Every structure is written in structure tokens, then in C-alpha cells.
Amino acid sequence: MDGNKVRNMEEFAMLSGISRPTLSKYFHDPESVRNSTRDRIEKALAEYDYRPNIFAMNQNRRTTNNIGIVVPFLADPFFAEIARNLEQRCIAAGYSPILFSAHGDPALEVEILDSLRSQKPAGVLLAPLGRASDRRHIEKFTAEVPTVLFDSRIPDMGSAFVGMDNTQSMRMLVNYLCESGSPPNFLEMRVAVNPNVNRRRIAYVSAMEALGHMPEIVRIDGEGWEFEDIGLQGGLTAFATGRFTSNTILCSNDRLAIGLLSAAYRSNLTVGRGENTDFRIAGHDDHPFSRFTCPALTTVSQDYGSISDKSLEILFELINSEKRSEIGSDCLFDGILIPRASA
Amino acid sequence: MDGNKVRNMEEFAMLSGISRPTLSKYFHDPESVRNSTRDRIEKALAEYDYRPNIFAMNQNRRTTNNIGIVVPFLADPFFAEIARNLEQRCIAAGYSPILFSAHGDPALEVEILDSLRSQKPAGVLLAPLGRASDRRHIEKFTAEVPTVLFDSRIPDMGSAFVGMDNTQSMRMLVNYLCESGSPPNFLEMRVAVNPNVNRRRIAYVSAMEALGHMPEIVRIDGEGWEFEDIGLQGGLTAFATGRFTSNTILCSNDRLAIGLLSAAYRSNLTVGRGENTDFRIAGHDDHPFSRFTCPALTTVSQDYGSISDKSLEILFELINSEKRSEIGSDCLFDGILIPRASA
DNA sequence: AAAAGAAGTTGACGCGCGTAAAGTTTCTAA
DNA sequence: TTAGAAACTTTACGCGCGTCAACTTCTTTT
């Protein structure tokens, strides 16, 4: 390209010898013009370095080409990884992803949704904060914008949901732990940040009861999204005061488990499935770092790829179908047991 | 708000009894109108739920209210944490941050820059991929858009840079390790992803030589951004084949060190600064997870807050000053030694 | 080769807001 | 109180592109 800056489509029409409406069609969908025309346009494009003004483009469109991705806490590598998957799939599908993190703040989540609405996105993939979310606001949003909720289900919310089957995964984990050693305690934060934790606790209880074991739940203090630190502090206290009734601890998620591993290490307790260890520890989610803890963490894998694929598949259906209300069903994926050295 | 949807500013002008140009001023800067007028507008705003069309707004502005934040790999919690800091500070300063990750892909980095340019951002905070970046492209971009580079310096690039002083931090780390035990080996990836690593190696060598020690560099194979895995695999091999000439290993960054810790654990080697341990391991960056490794990782802290603050401070200067070319100096922060149990 | 259909051209209007000019009202200060 | 400044209103045009209607040119079909 010559670097000649072309101011607008009109000017580019002059230079390329193509009429402006045809150019408009081309930029909306390159396949919609004749091959010979497309060639001429692209030849001119290579020469003159013109890009249509996106603001003017979007002003008159009912929806843009953008897909919003909203996660509750991006500094959590779990969400970073999911976001990465979603982004790449959006791009592959010809959309422009826009990424937002609520940073654990419900007010920010509301703001993000508001600003997103005014950006007329084609659709939105939303992992809500959960318990702290402003449900009315989210409901209103989903009514206006094609939205797929993922990771964290909000009860009675009409839109589609993609996530994992906590009941299945916890049962699997409990069964595995019971078969390979003593029945586990369940470790969770006193204040649950999202409904997944509640479902996991319930699933834990029923899985334990089904095996004829007494469920035992250990709750630790701490609020916010610094799960590792909460797991560490709570774990130190719990180990020191002997709050665990089993040598096997099942944590409500991997980040808590990572903190607990650290607490065990600092308490001079060994962790692992061997004979001479003090504790076994398991988590849930297959957090990107769980492979590298010492010992590596036994957990249940959420299949990031499948969840991403399915979320987008449903979203595209929503976008392309007029009657949005019809698709409101949940789609739950089974977790896969990832046995590692910790349990 | 009644939920009455107002289509445009003209209609809102009718309903509120304020002229459209005044409303336009208000939305551009609420402080620019008289108190009584602002009150009337905000009263109407509460009643009618109107938001100006951002596309129409931005079409006629030379620059928008947006600040682009581009990082090389968002699934790396280090960048997630920096991005979080930057985002929150942008919001506090009245800007709208837009977050992008190149996902380790130079082509995507170029695309992001291109699409960013057409969005007329007020400014951009860019942590380039480094070695793999398309330098010409970035240079062209920085010439058009006020840009502050951070984390990874690109040599001879004209724009401002904020980062950390690798020479200082490595010297500090080497001194600490030598005082408290044997002089360290330096562990790095054979293929450096960014210039920081090179600078750290050089700083390591000169710090060692200054103390009269023989520098020893261990390079491990592996490409890409999966540093932990590379550290793990490379570490396993290195331990097995006895490639280390010291019991103290200084890694070029924390993620590599986390992998190496895992390799040591799997090789039944103990790590720590105690008498009876096999190895001491240290990293660099104070990665969010380094506090929770077993043992906790000794490292050098990059002060996320200061780097974010300074980056934005310089960016705002760039935005508000006409002659951009003048501000081209580096701003380097000292690291802070974080001694933990691993070394 | 003629007719039908697809694709392109010309011309024109509208989107919602920025912004300038000219006139009017309201505030500020002496 | 009153002049002057500041803020507001009215009017009008422009931004760059979407899109429609009517017409022309090119491609395809039998």
C-alpha cells in the first residue's frame, strides 16, 4: 500500500472505480459481490489502505459484529483460559470479541452490561459474578441482547446456560476418593461467591450419603476472590486446630485447594496418595496451575474447549433465530476425573 | 426511570426542556454546564433513561474516550494482574479501558493494533510480545496513536516505556543468593520470548562476575508461552542428567521457577533454604501464585501498582500534550526482593 | 441470439450527534 | 442597578456510511 490515506468510502469509490453502494456491500460481506468486482476492490484496497469508519458503519446497523465476553474475575487463570478459548473461536467465526472483567465487583458488572448494551453487540457470553450479581439488571439485559450464560447459573434466569454438571463431577470425585482411601471432608468458604459452590456441597453430601458415609463440611472464613489466600489462612487454622475429621479433603475448587496445599506444606504435613502421607487433597476445575502444584492436584476437569464451543454454538443460534425466548435450556457437561499425585 | 425509551438527543431535548447543543456539552463533560442546568438534565435523565448513541458520538470526535490495553498473553496471571490494575485506574480517571490479548500470536497482535487504530482511542498501553512482534507495525502505530509501552522494551522504539530495572533486580537477587548460600546457576528458555530475559541473563552474568563467581547458564528447550510446562519438562531432564553445577537455581521468571519446583518435587528433591535441602530455587516477577507454591518462591517483586500508575501518568501526558515526540524516555522501577522459603 | 436474472451504477435521503454562528437569557460583579 | 460575561437557545450544516429506488450493464440460460 502506498500509505495514501483515503478519507471516506466516497473517495475510495472514485479511486477504485467502484460505486459506493457496491463497496458498502463488499465491506458488509465480501462474498456478496461478483468475483471480478471483488478482485478489483481488493486490488485497490492493497494500493490505497482504506478502512471504513467503524463508527459510521455501526451507527446505522441494528447490531454490530462484536461479541461481548464478560467474566467475573479475569485475574483468575480459570477465566483467563476460558476467555482465551472464547475469543479465538469468535475470531474464527468472523466476529470481534470484546473482553470485560467485573473484577469481582457487582457495580462494575452492571456498568459493563450497560455500556455493552449501548454497543449493540451481536451477542454476549456472560459468566456472572453469581451471588453478588444484580439479577434484575442481568435479566433485563438478557431480554434485550442475545446472551448465553456460562459457568455460573443464575436461578430462574430465562436465557441459555452452558456449564458443567456439578452433581456428576462431585459424585465421581467422592466415589474415587472413597474407593482409594478414607471418605473426604468438604472444604468451602463460608460465603459462597457463586451457586456452583452450593451445588457442589449438595452433591458432596448426597454422594457421601449414597455410599453410607457421614458428610463433613468444613467452612473457612474469608471473602472476595483471593481464594488461594483464603485457603492458605483457613487451612493453617484448620490444621492447627484439628478441624478435619478425615485425612482426605475435597475442596470446592482448585484455587482453594492450592491454598490448602500451601497450608499443609507450611504445617509440615505431607500430602499425597502414598502410604506415609498425612493428607490427601483434591480440588475441582482443573485450574491451569493444578498440574504444577507439589504434589500435582487431583481434580475434575472442566472441558474448556467443549464449553466454549457449545456456548458459542448456542449463541449463534440465538443470534440467527428471531424468537429468542425459545432457547432457554441448560447444557451441562460432564467433568473428567484427573487423578494426580495429591489424592 | 420509567423505562420510556428515548430514541435520540433531539427527543430527549424536547422531553427535558434543554436544547440539544447544551445536552451535547453536558454529555461531553457534565461540569461544563451550569449547576441548575445539570440538575434539570439529571432529573430528566433519571426519568427517561436515555443514553447517547456512542457510535454517532465517536464518529465526529477526533479521538474517543477509550484507552486500549494490549498484553501479550492474558492467561498469564502476571499480565492479568497488570491489566486489572490498569483497567481500574483508567476507569478512575474517567476513561473506558478496552482489553486485548495477543494470545502469544504476532499476527493477532498486528490485527489488534489495526482494529485499535480505527477505533480512535485516546491512548494505548501496550506490552508487546517482544521478540516476535512486528516492529515496523508497532512503530507505525505508535506514531499515530499516543502509546506507552510497558513490561517489554522494544529497542530503538521512539515511544515512552515503563518497566522494571532488570539489571538492578538481578544484581540484588544474585547478591542475596550468594550471601545466603552458593552462587546460583541461571535457568532460561533457549528461545527468549522477550528482551527482558536477555537483559536478565546479562545482568546475572555481570553480577556474578562482580562477585568473582563463575556464571553458569542452563538453557532448556521449549517454545511458546507455556512456561510452567517448559520449566517442568526441562527441569526433569536437567535434574536427571545433572546439568546444574550449583544447588541454587535462579530462573529467568517465576513461571519457569514454578515448573522447576514441580520438577524438583517429582524428582524427590527437596527445595528450600534449610540445611538439609537439595536445592534452592528463585524466580523473578512476584507472580500472583508464587506466594502459594511449596515452598513459597523467593523472587523479585515488580510493583504492579507503581508501574500501572506511572504508565498511565505518562500516557495522560502524551494525550494532553501536542508534541508527542518529546516524551521518549524510559522509566524503570527498582524491584523489591521478596525472600521466601524456597531460597 | 434473445430474454431473464443477477450485479452494478447513480442519485438521494436518513441516522444521531458534533459544532459553529447568531441571537437571547441568566448570572456575576462593581 | 446595570454593564459585561457566561450560559443557553435556535438554526443549520456536516460527518461517513446504510440503504432504497430506478436505471443500466453484464452474465447466464434455453
Q: Name which of A164, A96, A166, A93 is nearest A127 in CA terms.
A: A164
* Residues near A272 by beta carbon (within 8 Å), at least 6 away in sequence: A280, A295, A341, A342, A343
Among B83, B99, B232, the residue with its CB nearest the CB of A292 is B232
User: Quick check: helix, strand or coil at residue A18?
Assistant: coil
Domain with CATH 3.40.50.2300 in chain A: 67-163+305-333, 166-301
Looking at the DSSP assignment, which residues form a beta bridge with residue A271? A279
The 10s digit of each residue's pLDDT in B265-280 is 999 999 999 888 999 9
B-chain CB neighbours of A253 within 8 Å are none
To the question of domain A67-163+305-333 being in CATH 3.30.470.20, the answer is no
Report the residue of B54, B70, B292 to disrupt the A interface, i.e. the one with the largest count of A CBs within 10 Å.
B292
Higher pLDDT, A329 or B206: B206
Q: How far apart are CA B160 and CA B153, in angstroms?
A: 9
Of the pLDDT bands very low, low, confident and very high (cuts 50, 70, 90), residue B96 is: very high
Share in percent of chain A as helix, strand, coil (round to 5): 45, 15, 35
The reply to whether the CB atom of residue A56 sits less than 7 A from any atom in nucleic acid chain D is yes
Q: Say which nucleotide is closest to residue B19, CA to C1' distance.
A: D9
Among A76, A101, A259, the residue with its CB nearest the CB of B292 is A259
Predicted confidence (pLDDT) at residue A4 exceeds the cutoff of 80: no
- pLDDT-wise least confident of B83-87, B208-212, B324-328: B324-328
The reply to whether the CB atom of residue B35 sits less than 7 A from any atom in nucleic acid chain C is no
Q: How far is the CA of B37 from the C1' of D15 (A)?
A: 28
Note the pLDDT of residue B327. 54
Residue of B nearest to A231 (CA): B292
Q: Say which nucleotide is closest to residue A62, CA to C1' distance.
A: D18
* Range B320-343 average pLDDT: 80
For chain B, report the end-to-end CA distance as a whole number of angstroms.
Answer: 60
Q: How far apart are CA B238 and CA B242, in angstroms?
A: 6
Note the pLDDT of residue B192. 84
Domain with CATH 3.40.50.2300 in chain B: 66-163+305-332, 166-301
Note the pLDDT of residue B107. 94
Domain B166-301: which topology?
A: Rossmann fold (3.40.50)
Predicted confidence (pLDDT) at residue B2 exceeds the cutoff of 80: no
Q: How far is A41 from chain B (nearest CA, A)?
A: 19
Report the residue of B1, B50, B55 to disrupt the A interface, i.e. the one with the largest count of A CBs within 10 Å.
B55
The 10s digit of each residue's pLDDT in A227-284 is 999 999 999 999 999 999 999 999 999 999 999 999 999 999 999 998 889 999 999 9
Q: Name which of A263, A266, A268, A283 is nearest A342 in CA terms.
A: A283
Cα dist from A196 to A169, A172, B233, whole Å:
12, 16, 34
Q: How far is the CA of B26 from the C1' of D5 (A)?
A: 20
Question: Percent of chain A scored above 90 by pLDDT?
Answer: 77
Q: Where are the alpha helices (DSSP H) in A106-217?
A: 106-117, 135-144, 166-180, 195-210
Residue found by looking up cell 464518529 in the block:
B59
- pLDDT-wise least confident of A262-271, A333-342, B3-12: B3-12
Q: How far apart are CA B304 and CA B125, in angstroms?
A: 14
Note the pLDDT of residue B158. 67
Note the pLDDT of residue A62. 81
Predicted confidence (pLDDT) at residue A73 exceeds the cutoff of 70: yes
The 10s digit of each residue's pLDDT in B22-35 is 999 999 999 999 99
The reply to whether the CB atom of residue A118 sits less than 7 A from any atom in nucleic acid chain C is no
Contact between residue B96 and residue B63 where contact means Cβ atoms under 8 Å apart? no
* Range A9-37 average pLDDT: 94
Residue found by looking up cell 482453594 in the block:
A256
* Range A285-293 average pLDDT: 95
The reply to whether the CB atom of residue B32 sits less than 7 A from any atom in nucleic acid chain C is no
Lay out the sheet containing A123-126: strands in order across: A330-333, A160-164, A147-150, A123-126, A66-71, A96-101, B96-101, B66-71, B123-126, B147-150, B160-164, B330-333
* Range A87-112 average pLDDT: 94
* Range A62-79 average pLDDT: 93
Q: How far is the CA of B312 from the C1' of D21 (A)?
A: 52
Note the pLDDT of residue B133. 85
Q: How far is the CA of A63 from the C1' of C18 (A)?
A: 23
Contact A294 B56 (CB under 8 A): no
Cα dist from B146 to A10, A25, B316, whole Å:
29, 33, 9
Q: How far is B244 from chain A (nearest CA, A)?
A: 21
What are the DSSP E strand ranges found in B136-216? 147-150, 160-164, 185-189
Grid cell at residue B291: 506466594
- What is the β-pairing status of strands A185-189 and A217-220? parallel
Q: How far apart are CA A268 and CA B341, in angstroms?
A: 13
Q: How far apart are CA B330 and CA B327, in angstroms?
A: 9
Q: Is the dihedral of CA B236, B241, B247, B251 positive or negative?
A: negative
Residue of B nearest to A52 (CA): B118
Contact A291 B98 (CB under 8 A): no
Q: DSSP class of residue A213?
A: P
Contact between residue B73 and residue B79 where contact means Cβ atoms under 8 Å apart? yes
Contact A88 B101 (CB under 8 A): no
Contact A262 B87 (CB under 8 A): no
B-chain CB neighbours of A269 within 8 Å are none
Q: How far apart are CA A256 and CA A279, in angstroms?
A: 15
The reply to whether the CB atom of residue B36 sits less than 7 A from any atom in nucleic acid chain C is yes
Predicted confidence (pLDDT) at residue B326 exceeds the cutoff of 70: no
The reply to whether the CB atom of residue B133 sits less than 7 A from any atom in nucleic acid chain D is no
Contact between residue B245 and residue B238 where contact means Cβ atoms under 8 Å apart? no
Long-range contacts of B17-23 (CB under 8 A, 24+ apart): B17/B44, B18/B44
Other beta carbons within 10 Å of B211? 13
Q: Is the dihedral of CA A305, A80, A161, A90 positive or negative?
A: negative
DSSP per residue, A262-330:
HHHHHTT--BSSSTT-SBEEE-SB--TTGGGSSSPPBEEE--HHHHHHHHHHHHHHHHH-S-GGG---E
Q: How far apart are CA A279 and CA A298, in angstroms?
A: 13
Note the pLDDT of residue A3. 56
Q: How far apart are CA B311 and CA B264, in angstroms?
A: 38
To the question of domain B66-163+305-332 being in CATH 3.40.50.2300, the answer is yes
Strand C bases with any atom < 7 A from protein Cβ: 7-12, 14-21, 26-27
The 10s digit of each residue's pLDDT in A304-328 is 899 999 999 999 988 887 655 555 6
Q: Name which of B269, B303, B286 is nearest B340 in CA terms.
A: B286
* Range A59-88 average pLDDT: 92
- What is the β-pairing status of strands A336-338 and A299-301? antiparallel
- What is the β-pairing status of strands B336-338 and B299-301? antiparallel
The reply to whether the CB atom of residue B57 sits less than 7 A from any atom in nucleic acid chain C is yes
Q: How far is the CA of A115 from the C1' of C21 (A)?
A: 34
Q: How far is the CA of B60 from the C1' of C19 (A)?
A: 9
Q: DSSP class of residue B246?
A: S
Note the pLDDT of residue B290. 96
A-chain CB neighbours of B101 within 8 Å are 84, 87, 99
Cα dist from A319 to A69, A157, A323, B42, B53, whole Å:
15, 18, 9, 35, 22
Q: How far apart are CA A244 and CA A271, in angstroms?
A: 14
Residue of B nearest to A59 (CA): B55
The 10s digit of each residue's pLDDT in B302-314 is 888 999 999 999 9
- What is the β-pairing status of strands A330-333 and A280-282? unpaired
Lay out the sheet containing B217-220: strands in order across: B217-220, B185-189, B248-251, B280-282
